[in-house]
Amino acid sequence: MNIGDMIAPRVSFGEALRDLAPDYPKLLVFDSDVSPSTRTQLFAEAYPERFYQMGIAEQNMVCSAAGMATTGWMPMVSTFAVFLAKRAVDQVRVSVAQTKLNVKLNGAYGGLPTGRAGKTHAAVQDIAVMRAMPNMVVVVPADPMETKLAVKACLDFEGPVYLRTVRDPVPVIFGEDHVLEIGKSYVLHEGDDLAIISTGMMTPKALVAAEQLKKEGIGVRLVHMPTIKPIDRTAIVKASNDFGKILSIENHSVIGGLGGAISEVLTDEAPCLLKRLGFQDRFAESGDNEAIFSAYGMNSENIVEAAKAFV
Amino acid sequence: MDIPELEAITAETRIKMIRIVHKAQCGHLGGSLSAAEILTALYFRIMNIDPENPDMPDRDRFVLSKGHCTPGYYTTLYKRGYFSEEILDTFDQMGSILQGHPDMKLTPGVDMSSGSLGQGVSSALGIAMGGEANGDSYYTYALLGDGEAQEGQVWETAMYAGSNKIKRFIVILDRNKVQLSATTSDALNIEPLADKWKAFNWDVLECDGHDMAAVVETLERARDMSDNGPVVIIAHTVKGKGVSFMEGRWQWHGIPPNDEQFEQAMSELTPGDAQ
């Protein structure tokens, strides 16, 4: 995996599960008939005895995984983020979050890229739902390398974690030396004029934007925030104090996700202007990923324009 | 423990569960009273458990899927020695280890949290699967409400367990025929119940849930049969069993008795006083 390679994070996720399996003998994977799509199939082929095909029955999948966790196993429950965070949300709430059992949740097809499946399958509220859940850690990696590292970080963490993975190729921005620590953010670009805080697959787009803005004479501090909960409050407060203006960008609704989390911290500790880029309060549609990102103001050029208007 | 002893314990737990609900002025008695014999039989005769060592690895597991029936559950756990009477009397109070619905993080003897209907039976399935994967031979029991059987998740669980022949997994369905706001037949008819479970590839047994000898015999039979796949026991019961004015009435699903009703209930359940 080299910087700039276009790789689907879901593939990195499936490979990481498979490759880490020998070191985590209690790891199991629970699937609801989407393993070729989420790429847990890679794990299933290598470790069929540790793979549980639960059928298209997400509610039973979540609770039976919780029950199994009481007996010492560590299930990774994997399905599309929309269904995990909504159809089975009560099961996550009562049987996973309240119990704090060691269950991992993979929200696949995070955000808008769903293979043109449209509004029923685009997960644009899952971070908001999971973030509001006590005891839940929410991790949204940026690229294939960080996705791989995030899988390990989730398995090493004792307790429930919601890991959001992306369907379609994203450029690799991190090298082998990247370290993902739950709760930490990472400054990927420095500048004097504006702070941009990004998460997930919007970070590679924000990095392109930061470099373009530099060429145009606008200095950006780009803070990548892979953990939405617990949020890195220190980095947010510092950005507010240093710049007085923050722009956030996420592959999620602007309500309740990264932008929501940042605004809560700012309101508590260091008020400043916050411009939230991301999916607005509406439902998604089918179409080409990049066309959709551009149409909804979520591509690099949109970030550049928004930053120039905001700074 | 023999049948008369089990019957004597059940008579005591019925009185005690009404006392704690009266004291707390909250709690679900209807479904606790209907399940009293089942809980006594499980905890005093059927299950391999040790109250001194509630986390014993090879213990049998129990999940109260009808999680609101904590008065009956906690009273049985207290009677079996998992915690003291002083603790039992804190039922539903702030800071108590005995919350309105079962919490595995707080209460010794509670193997799984529950309370959102449909989930407990599904978690119990996972506990049975975990035992199988670990090579353990414990049995997993779940107590399901009949109104609860309206939840779709129950049938997701039934489909998985039946299709995969999950062993040592026994569901007891408390068929008391009454739910929160109506009879089950008026709210949403769940019949034909036995045929439904059979269609999901379960072995089905039925018994009178208030005949202790029948309850014990059926549970023992289910345990033996479950070595081949999941078994459901449809236990025919009476909601509010033992208290005349509560029996069969949805109005007693989840409200506490006032002082007068409490005295009336006590006089009915205490043979000496009833004369």
The domain that holds A228 is classified in CATH as 3.40.50.920
Question: Could you give phi then psi for residue A157, rounded to 5 degrees?
Answer: -80, 135
Residue A96 forms part of a structural domain: yes
Average pLDDT, chain B: 97
- List, in order of start, the domains of chain B with CATH numbers: 3-274 (3.40.50.970)
Partner B contacted by A2 (CB < 8 A):
no
| Structural domain ending residue among the three candidates A114, A139, A171 | A171
By the CB < 8 Å criterion, does B137 face chain A? no
Do A265 and A166 belong together in one domain? no
Q: Which of A54, A71, A79 to mutate to test the interface with B (most CBs of B within 10 A)?
A: A71
Q: Let me know whether A161 and A193 are in one domain.
A: no
Which residue matches tokens 């109506």?
B182
Q: Residues A205, A161: one domain?
A: no
The verdict on residue A121 lying in a domain is: yes
The Cα of B16 is separated from the nearest Cα of chain A by a number of Å equal to: 28
Residue finishing a domain among A123, A148, A171: A171
Q: Is residue A303 part of a domain?
A: yes
Residue A1 lies in a domain: no
Residue A178 lies in a domain: no
Residues of A in contact with B118 (CB under 8 A): 59
Query: What is the structure's pLDDT at B275?
Result: 38
Query: How many domains in chain A?
Result: 2
Residue A239 belongs to domain spanning: 186-310
The mean per-residue pLDDT over the stretch B137-151 comes to 98
At B12 the pLDDT is 97
**Is A205 in contact with A299 (CB distance < 8 Å)?**
yes
Please tell me whether residues A158 and A265 are part of one structural domain: no
Beta bridge partners of A108: A80
A-B Cβ pairs (cutoff 8 Å, strict)? 101
Compute the average pLDDT of residues B56-85: 98
pLDDT tens digits for range B186-236: 999 999 999 999 999 999 999 999 999 999 999 999 999 999 999 999 999
Q: Indicate the residue among A171, A195, A216 that finishes a domain.
A: A171
Residue of B nearest to A63 (CA): B123
CA B234 to chain centre: 12
Tally of helices (H runs) and strands (E runs) in chain B = 12, 5
B49 Cβ neighbours under 8 A, 6+ residues apart: B43, B56, B59, B60, B80, B109
Residue B135 in contact with partner chain A when CB distance is under 8 A = no
Whether A108 and A239 map to the same domain: the answer is: no
Continuous segment of H or E residues that includes residue A162: strand A161-164
**pLDDT at site B271:** 67
Q: How far is A54 from chain B (nearest CA, A)?
A: 7
Q: What is the DSSP letter of A307?
A: H
Question: How far away is chain B from the Cα of A213, in angstroms, using its nearest Cα?
Answer: 51
Radius of gyration over every alpha carbon of chain A, rounded to an integer in angstroms: 18
Per residue in A168-201, is it b (16+ CB within 10 Å) or e — as a string?
bbbbbbbeeeeebebeebbebbebebbbbbbbbb
d(CA A278, CA A297): 7
Antiparallel, parallel or unpaired: β A104-108 and A137-139: unpaired
Question: Does residue A76 sit in the same domain as residue A20?
Answer: yes
One pLDDT digit (tens) per residue for chain A, 311 residues: 999 999 999 999 999 999 999 999 999 999 999 999 999 999 999 999 999 999 999 999 999 999 999 999 999 999 999 999 999 999 999 999 999 999 999 999 999 999 999 999 999 999 999 999 999 999 999 999 999 999 999 999 999 999 999 999 999 999 999 999 999 999 999 999 999 999 999 999 999 999 999 999 999 999 999 999 999 999 999 999 999 999 999 999 999 999 999 999 999 999 999 999 999 999 999 999 999 999 999 999 999 999 999 99
Same-domain status, A88 and A15: yes
Residue B269: CA count within 13 A, CB half-sphere: 26
Quick check: B144 contacting A, CB < 8 Å?
no
| Chain A residues touching residue B123 (CB < 8 angstroms) | 63-64, 66-67, 70, 95
pLDDT of residue B273 exceeding 80: no
Please tell me whether residues A147 and A243 are part of one structural domain. Answer: no
Distance CA B4, CA B242 (A): 17
pLDDT for position B272: 56
A180 in a domain, yes or no?
no
Residue A75's CATH number: 3.40.50.970
B127/A68 touch (CB, cutoff 8 Å), yes or no: yes
Q: Of A28, A52, A94, which has the smallest distance from its Cβ to B113's Cβ?
A: A94
Sequence-separated (6 or more) residues with CB below 8 Å from residue B35:
B66, B69, B72, B143, B174, B209, B237
With respect to residue A273, please indicate whether it lies within any of the assigned structural domains: yes
Give the integer Cα–Cα distance in Å for A172 and A303.
19
The answer to whether the Cβ–Cβ distance between B122 and A93 falls below 8 Å is no
pLDDT greater than 90 at residue B274: no
- Please indicate, yes or no, whether residues A162 and A13 belong to a single structural domain of this protein: yes
What percentage of residues in chain B have a pLDDT greater than 70? 98
In a domain, A136, yes or no: yes
The confidence band for B270, taking pLDDT boundaries of 50, 70 and 90, is confident
C-alpha to C-alpha distance for A13 and A145, rounded to whole angstroms: 9
Hey, what are A66's tokens? 């919780």
Same domain, A219 and A135: no
CB within 8 Å: A65 and B126: yes
Q: Are residues A195 and A73 in the same domain?
A: no
Q: A144 and A76 share a domain?
A: yes
